A and B are shown apart, each in its own frame.
Chain A
Amino acid sequence: MELSESVQNGLQSLADPVIFDLKTFSVLIDVAFRSLLSAHADSSVLDQTEFKRVDQTLLKHCHTAATTFILEGVKQNADKSTISSCLEDVRFDAERTELFYATYQKYKSDVETLLSSIGRCPPHINDLSWRLEYRIKNGHVHKVNEPSYLISLNVEKASNGGSLEDVNFSCTMEQLQDLVGKMKDAAKSLEKATQL
């Protein structure tokens, strides 16, 4: 993992027992993970009593360094040896490395989920609703007498801050059978693919 000088400096400060005793260190690491996962993290995450005696600028620097290191580690799916060697380079002792790794393991999958949700993708279908109606007549044609479905796909747009939108369309019974048939083809292929 390549880390910038600023991040390395921040981590080195974190490793320093004079600045952070073990208790404060462990609280800061936990706060770093939680601030990444909380949707509305603000500066109050650093308002812990344990941090009162630490210089605030240095504290922010260390917090940024820790979150950057976490994001980089999760992004690259770093294993224990990679993390350990990185932390050794910034003078972490065995106890702090072990403590960091334990917290990393605890939150890793949550951070992964968060990171995998970042990025562009086509609108995502979450659900659908349907309505069945029997068309009888209209101003232009009488005795239409055919069933018709109204389908409404509930779609979430990631590119638009997760806004919800519906895709509405109508279809005849035959068209709906065609649609379901094609979806089933996709599901079958999916099943085969997972067996590979």
Chain B
Amino acid sequence: MLLVLSDEHKEHLGFLPEVESVVVGEFGRIAVEFLRRGTNPKIYEGAARKLNVDAETVQHGVEGLMYLLTESSKLMISEVDFQDSVLVLGFEEELNQLLLELYLEHRKEVRSILTELTPSLPHYHNLEWRLDVQVASRSLRQQVKPTVSMKLHLENRGVKSAKVLQTDPATLMHLIQELEKALAELKTTHCRRILRNIK
């Protein structure tokens, strides 16, 4: 699968061959940093002064790289497809190689950043448990009632929450059985066929 670059995008990236490869490397570093933490316009101005160009040109260059990185990471295109995709920009081989390295080095991280944007439910983080025996209460003395108290830690978009729940021994066994069935389902031929064929 090839990346389709718009004319506007090509034009923005067109600034890159005009500067030294060290500068392109620096732009790449800034692009990744901005993807991690958001943009900072002051950086554009500083770089523009040093290079003696418009701040806008620098901004377009860096944003062009950010877009190139996010699109190719999103589609998870192969090394060869990436090289073929940037070929249309008509850059020197060295610059193409630099872009490829930038892509391959940061693909995993960019994908994990993009994953944060996807809609998600709270997900499992940890489970703490404790075994209790209730021996008395206001309404009934001399009891022997085993309970399993559990603290379920969930996480949603970096926000952690915890729920305190409890259950009785028989239900605990039932819960384990059900969840083991869920795990076993993944190993059935039906699931394996789907996992194998959707790539």
Listed in ascending order, the chain A residues whose CB lies under 8 Å from chain B are 74-77, 112, 115-116, 118-119, 121-128, 130, 132, 134, 136, 138-145, 147, 149-151, 153, 155, 167-173, 175-180, 182-187, 189-190, 193-194
Point out the residue from A124, A130, A168 that lies within 8 Å of B167, measured CB to CB: A124
Could you show 30 A-B contacts with beta carbons less than 8 Å apart?
A76-B142, A112-B140, A116-B137, A116-B139, A121-B147, A124-B167, A125-B150, A125-B165, A128-B178, A136-B198, A139-B117, A141-B111, A147-B195, A153-B165, A155-B165, A170-B121, A171-B124, A176-B183, A179-B124, A179-B127, A179-B179, A180-B179, A180-B183, A182-B129, A183-B127, A186-B150, A189-B131, A190-B169, A193-B133, A193-B146
When distances are taken between beta carbons in the complex, the residues of chain A under 8 Å from B127 are 178-179, 182-183
- Interface residue B191 (Cβ < 8 Å from any Cβ of A): yes
- Given the interface pairs A122-B164, A145-B198, A190-B146, the reply to whether A128 lies near B141 with Cβ below 8 Å is no
Chain B nearest CB, measured from A69 CB (Å) = 15
Q: How far is it, in angstroms, between the C-alpha of A130 and the C-alpha of B145 when the chains are bound?
A: 28
Which residue in chain A gives the minimum CB-CB distance to B127?
A182
Chain A nearest CB, measured from B82 CB (Å) = 14
Asked if A170 contacts B124 (CB within 8 A), the reply is yes
When distances are taken between beta carbons in the complex, the residues of chain B under 8 Å from A123 are 163-166
Point out the residue from B137, B142, B167 that lies within 8 Å of A125, measured CB to CB: B167
Which residue in chain B gives the minimum CB-CB distance to A113?
B140
Interface hits, B146-184 → A, CB 8 Å: 146-150, 152, 154, 163-169, 171-176, 178-180, 182-183
- Given the interface pairs A167-B163, A187-B176, the reply to whether A132 lies near B186 with Cβ below 8 Å is yes
Question: Interface residue count for B (Cβ, 8 Å)?
Answer: 62
- Interface residue B118 (Cβ < 8 Å from any Cβ of A): yes
Point out the residue from B115, B142, B175 that lies within 8 Å of A141, measured CB to CB: B115
Asked if B145 contacts A116 (CB within 8 A), the reply is yes
Chain B nearest CB, measured from A158 CB (Å) = 10
When distances are taken between beta carbons in the complex, the residues of chain A under 8 Å from B146 are 190, 193-194
When distances are taken between beta carbons in the complex, the residues of chain A under 8 Å from B183 are 173, 176-177, 180
Point out the residue from B118, B126, B139, B171 that lies within 8 Å of A75, measured CB to CB: B139
When distances are taken between beta carbons in the complex, the residues of chain A under 8 Å from B152 are 153, 167, 169
When distances are taken between beta carbons in the complex, the residues of chain A under 8 Å from B164 are 122-123
- Interface residue B80 (Cβ < 8 Å from any Cβ of A): no
Interface string of B89-128 (1 = CB under 8 A from A): 0000000000000000000000100110111111110111
Chain A nearest CB, measured from B196 CB (Å) = 11
Asked if B182 contacts A125 (CB within 8 A), the reply is no
Which residue in chain A gives the minimum CB-CB distance to B169?
A190
- Interface residue B37 (Cβ < 8 Å from any Cβ of A): no
Asked if B179 contacts A169 (CB within 8 A), the reply is no
Q: How far is it, in angstroms, between the C-alpha of A91 and the C-alpha of B9 when the chains are bound?
A: 101
- Interface residue B51 (Cβ < 8 Å from any Cβ of A): no
Q: How far is it, in angstroms, between the C-alpha of A153 and the C-alpha of B168 when the chains are bound?
A: 14
Asked if A176 contacts B124 (CB within 8 A), the reply is yes
Interface string of B68-81 (1 = CB under 8 A from A): 00000111100000
- Interface residue B42 (Cβ < 8 Å from any Cβ of A): no
- Interface residue B185 (Cβ < 8 Å from any Cβ of A): yes
- Interface residue B194 (Cβ < 8 Å from any Cβ of A): yes
